[in-house]
A and B are shown apart, each in its own frame.
Chain A
Amino acid sequence: MNTQIEQALEILKSGNRQDAERALETLQGVVYGFGLKVCGSHEDAQDTAQETLIRLARQLREFPDARALSVWLYKVAKTQCLMSRRKSKFAPAQMLSLDALMPKDSVLSPAGTKTWQITPEEIVLNQELRGRLEDAILALPKHYRLVLILRDMEQLDTREVAEVMGISEETMKMRLHRARVFVRNALAGYVQHLREGRSKSHA
């Protein structure tokens, strides 16, 4: 679990008002950010943050430790996101088939899978790639999207994601792999296009 979240929750649980403002801003950032990644809308993210943090304030003293409280926080935020007013944003709760996601033979040839000559920083900093990453994540069916966001963006561990989602670790791992492959494949076309553009400009 993110230590920043646990520290913020510890501060709030201790009742230290002096540091509470900073702790609240940290948690606002976490829950709003999570809501935005899941819902794709600022309005829904703000609603998620507000409802989740109000419930947190009421439950603050009920939990024995910050770790249990942070898992609870994500559970509540997840439920709020699923109840968001823009439900149509969610793709149908379909199953992603690994066979369907597996690259075709032509793509799995050495020529088709040249190493991505793009850095993770570029994916995040390049505005268009950033948009494509966001679109790919939003195109995932909700249960795959939530798992990917919790594991790869919020950086919870496997056990914590399974706990938040109420599923087994094996199911969580299966969904995570399919979600990653889906996003990777969605980015691949644009990465290829970028690489070709660079080759031409260097020619």
Chain B
Amino acid sequence: MRSLVMFSISGKEEAKAMPDRRCKHIFAMLSNYLNAELPLKNCRELERHLKGCEPCIAYLESLRKTVEACRRYQVRKIPAPSKKVREALWFALQ
């Protein structure tokens, strides 16, 4: 995790900071946030940023949907185990 340069500056100063710089810093944390693996102080920083940044909220939501789609993806056709596999297993179980 990068150092938290933005964490120490006040709300007014933060508002003046370049939006792309803040967004870029937040951007690197999004997956850990979705996994609930972001340290608490980073979590607070991210949530404070999200309150005022519509593009980052939308990007986070699209990332969440991408992850959810991966989770729901299922392989449709699964062939039966081969004869060799069955033989090896029955031998092992004897």
Q: Describe A's contact surface by its main secondary structure.
A: helix
**Tally of A interface residues using CB under 8 Å:** 58
1/0 per residue B51-94: CB within 8 Å of A? 00011101101110111111111110011111011101111110
Closest to B85 in A: A53
Given A28-B80, A57-B91, A173-B32, A110 contacting B71 (CB threshold 8 A): no
CB-based contact A57/B92 at 8 Å: yes
Closest to B30 in A: A177
Q: A74 → chain B, closest Cβ, in Å?
A: 16
Q: Footprint of A on B, CB under 8 Å?
A: 20, 23-24, 27-28, 30-32, 35, 37, 54-56, 58-59, 61-63, 65-75, 78-82, 84-86, 88-93
| 27 residue pairs A–B, Cβ–Cβ below 8 Å | A12-B89, A15-B93, A20-B93, A28-B78, A28-B80, A29-B78, A32-B75, A33-B75, A36-B75, A37-B73, A49-B82, A50-B84, A58-B92, A108-B55, A108-B59, A110-B55, A116-B65, A120-B65, A120-B71, A123-B65, A123-B69, A124-B73, A158-B35, A176-B31, A180-B66, A183-B66, A187-B69
Q: Footprint of B on A, CB under 8 Å?
A: 12, 15, 17, 20, 24-25, 28-29, 32-33, 36-37, 42, 46, 49-50, 53-54, 57-58, 60-61, 98, 102-103, 105, 108-110, 112-116, 118-121, 123-124, 130, 133, 137, 148, 152-153, 155, 158, 173, 176-177, 180-181, 183-184, 187-188, 191
